[in-house]
């Protein structure tokens, strides 16, 4: 039975890194007769340039019909000055997340032992690191109403957003996190700002209520400012971290750097049936776009997550992950993870090396 994969290259380095992930997917597809059918569509700035809007109807429909979606990245300075937020590239990404109900965002930060020296933190602080950030992705301050930008009667401009969660949204992401914790180290840390924000007082209450259903999981709570500090002080204290949309956005970038480079961090965004979109956690990096130096591994690892979670091809995912490990063993490094004694390779050389490792 064929499975439809929609590929959305997006902007900046998006097309370059997605091209490498496609090579890897096409190789594993042939090797294991997975029956994947890949097609592409426009999103973000690329879609604005071609159609005037960041999420064209055709892309949204293709996304709805696909079994899984692989996305590069969106955004760039040429679209940032548009005062109409609806015409920003990021709206394309946020639109797919919310229209498809992709509320459960899994961001695993795993340190490949070969990269212990690529992290800006001391090797003993990060070696063996394996944490999972579970970020709520379709609610919170990213989507809360009212929101806006206006000039008040006295002529003073103001911007405003609303940080809101109802208990059902919290329970739904809480379950994803408790289940994930149950399947790994059985420790869950819920991150909030319950000393200041009512919405996170409710968040904490609901997490405590859910805990009754998961007595085998150890639950702790941490304020987000402390969590940011603990992530760089002693990151290995964490197993699974669950938090809201904005805190998760911030903490997952910090967690990414523990693994050597944000260029290594994949992610999955899942709906209630595990249908999902897969993307690297890094952005479109317009400053290095087109130079062939971006690290494609986060996107390749996202493709592996896609095979595992949405396409029922766990063995293919394992093979891709071990191919990535092999190329790191061969001392191949893109610039972001380069260190002494290693061989610097381009984006496409890295993709080719993963393909070659798959063939072994
Ligand atoms: C991420 C990104 C997005 C977000 C942007 C591009 C809208 O930073 O996936 O972490 O804020 O969610
Ligand atoms: Mg982010």
Q: What is the pLDDT of residues 104-143, one digit of tens each?
A: 999 999 999 999 888 889 999 999 999 999 999 999 999 9
Taking the C-alpha atoms of residue 349 and residue 360, their distance in angstroms, rounded to an integer, is 17
Instruction: State the distance from the centre of ligand 1 to the C-alpha of 249, rounded, in angstroms.
Output: 6
Rounded to whole angstroms, how far apart are CA atoms 286 and 166? 36
The reported pLDDT for the residue numbered 82 is 84
pLDDT 10s digits, 154-182: 999 999 999 999 999 999 999 999 999 99
Question: pLDDT (tens digit, 9 = 90+) per residue, 22-34?
Answer: 999 999 999 999 9
pLDDT in tens, 272-303: 998 999 999 999 999 999 999 999 999 999 99
From the CA of 94, the nearest ligand is 1
Q: What angle do CA 347, 19, 62 make, to 5 degrees?
A: 150
Look up residue 312 and give its two tokens: 């029922």
Residues in the chain: 360
Distance of CA 331 to the CA centre of its chain: 26
- pLDDT value for 343: 97
Residue 116: predicted pLDDT: 87
CA of 355 to the centre of ligand 2 (A): 28
The answer, yes or no, to whether residue 84 has pLDDT greater than 90, is no
pLDDT tens digits for 176-187? 999 999 999 999
Is residue 1 over pLDDT 80? no
For ligand 1, mutation pick of 14, 44, 55, 93 (most atoms within 8 Å of CB): 93
For the full predicted model, state whether its pTM sits above 0.85. yes
For residues 263-273, average pLDDT: 94
Q: What is the pLDDT of residues 48-77, one digit of tens each?
A: 999 999 999 999 999 999 999 999 999 999
Query: N- to C-terminal Cα distance for the chain?
Result: 27
- Ligand number, closest to the Cα atom of 254: 2
Q: Do domains 1-104+266-360 and 130-258 have the same CATH topology?
A: yes
Catalytic option among 249, 278, 309, 336: 249
* Residue 34, SS3 per DSSP: coil
Residues 244-256: b if buried by 16+ CB within 10 A, e if exposed: bbbbbbebbebbb
Percent of the chain with pLDDT over 90: 93
Domain at 1-104+266-360, CATH homologous superfamily: Isopropylmalate Dehydrogenase (3.40.718.10)
Lowest mean pLDDT among 189-198, 256-265, 328-337: 256-265
- Domain parsing of the chain, residue ranges: 1-104+266-360, 130-258
CA of 202 to the centre of ligand 2 (A): 24
Query: Is residue 339 scored above 90 in pLDDT?
Result: no
In CATH terms, is domain 130-258 a member of 3.40.190.10? no
């Amino acid at each position: 039975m064929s499975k439809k994969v929609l590929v959305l290259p997006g902007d900046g380095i998006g097309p370059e890194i997605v091209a490498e992930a496609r090579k890897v997917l096409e190789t594993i597809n042939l090797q294991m007769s997975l029956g994947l059918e890949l097609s592409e569509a426009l999103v973000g700035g690329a879609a604005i340039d071609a159609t005037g809007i960041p999420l064209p109807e055709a892309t949204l429909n293709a996304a709805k019909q696909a079994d899984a979606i692989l996305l590069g990245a969106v955004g760039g300075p040429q679209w940032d000055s548009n005062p109409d937020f609806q015409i920003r590239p990021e709206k394309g990404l946020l639109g797919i997340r919310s229209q498809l109900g992709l509320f459960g965002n899994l961001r695993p930060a795993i340190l490949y032992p070969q990269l212990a020296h690529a992290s800006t933190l001391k090797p003993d602080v990060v070696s063996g690191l394996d944490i999972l950030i579970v970020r709520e992705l379709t609610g919170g301050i990213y989507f809360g109403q009212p929101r806006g930008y206006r000039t008040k009667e006295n002529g003073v401009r103001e911007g405003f957003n609303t940080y809101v969660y109802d208990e059902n949204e919290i329970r739904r992401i809480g379950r994803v996190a408790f289940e994930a914790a149950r399947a790994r180290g059985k420790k869950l840390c819920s991150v909030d700002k319950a000393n200041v924000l009512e919405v996170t007082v409710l968040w904490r209450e609901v997490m405590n209520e859910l805990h009754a259903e998961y007595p085998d999981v150890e639950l702790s709570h941490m304020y987000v400012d402390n969590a940011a500090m603990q992530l760089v002080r002693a990151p290995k204290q964490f197993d699974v971290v669950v938090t809201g949309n904005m805190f998760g956005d911030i903490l997952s970038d910090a967690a990414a750097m523990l693994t050597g480079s944000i260029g290594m961090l994949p992610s999955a965004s899942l709906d209630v049936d595990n249908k999902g979109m897969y993307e690297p956690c890094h952005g479109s990096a317009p400053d290095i776009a087109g130079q062939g130096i971006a690290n494609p591994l986060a996107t390749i690892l996202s493709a592996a997550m896609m095979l595992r979670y949405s396409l029922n091809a766990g063995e293919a995912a394992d093979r891709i992950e071990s191919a990535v490990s092999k190329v790191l063993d061969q001392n191949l490094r893109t610039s972001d993870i380069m260190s002494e004694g290693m061989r610097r390779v381009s984006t496409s050389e890295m993709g080719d090396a993963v393909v070659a490792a798959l063939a072994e």
